């Protein structure tokens, strides 16, 4: 044992002790914060699930409506084409001129 060891040993003990105690306090604080945040996350998660279900249902309805609109659009296209064809076959003096 050297003289310097006996001189600095108490200082080292105090330093290590204070660091350890400080560490414990920090962990406790973090646990409290995390618990609070976890509660909020859980609440948000349940709300998100409800919103997600609503959104999925709305999207399914929109897709169905879109598909129906697409079918209707195609039927209208066919009807329009037939009407246009009939109109074009009418008398020459009734035929249209393009808007150049």
Partner 1 sequence: MIPLFLALAVLAPAIPATEGVRAAEPAKPQADMPQEAGAKLSGEAARVADWIAASRDNGALPYIIVDKKAAVLSLYDASGKSLGHAPVLIGVAVGDEASPGIGSKNLAEIGPAEKTTPAGRFLAKFGLAAGRQKVLWVDYATSVALHPIPKGAPKRERRRERMLSPTGDDNRITFGCINLPVAFYGKNVSPLFRKKGGYVYVLPDTKPLEAVFPRLRVQAAMNGGGG
Which residues are near partner 1 by CB under 8 A? 26, 59, 62-63, 65-66, 69-70, 73-74, 77, 80-81, 84-85, 87-89, 92, 95-100
Number of residues assigned to the chain:
100
State how far Cα 13 lies from the chain centre: 52
Closer to partner 1 at the Cβ: 45 or 84? 84
Closer to partner 1 at the Cβ: 6 or 100? 100
Helix (H) or strand (E) holding 85: helix 3-88
Reading the block at residue 51, the tokens are: 């919103």
Closer to partner 1 at the Cβ: 38 or 80? 80
Closer to partner 1 at the Cβ: 9 or 21? 21
User: Min. distance of Cβ 9 from partner 1 in angstroms?
Assistant: 26
User: Min. distance of Cβ 97 from partner 1 in angstroms?
Assistant: 4
User: Min. distance of Cβ 50 from partner 1 in angstroms?
Assistant: 17
C-alpha span between 13 and 15 (Å, rounded): 5
Q: With contact defined as beta carbons under 8 Å apart, do 88 and 95 qualify?
A: yes
């Amino acid at each position: 044992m050297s003289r310097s060891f006996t001189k600095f040993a108490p200082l080292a003990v105090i330093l290590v002790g204070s660091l350890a105690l400080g560490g414990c306090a920090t962990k406790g604080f973090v646990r409290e914060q995390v618990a609070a945040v976890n509660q909020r996350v859980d609440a948000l998660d349940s709300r998100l699930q409800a919103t997600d279900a609503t959104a999925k249902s709305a999207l399914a309805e929109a897709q169905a409506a879109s598909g129906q609109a697409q079918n209707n659009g195609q039927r209208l296209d066919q009807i329009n084409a037939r009407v246009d064809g009939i109109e074009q076959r009418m008398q020459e003096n009734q035929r249209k001129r393009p808007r150049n």
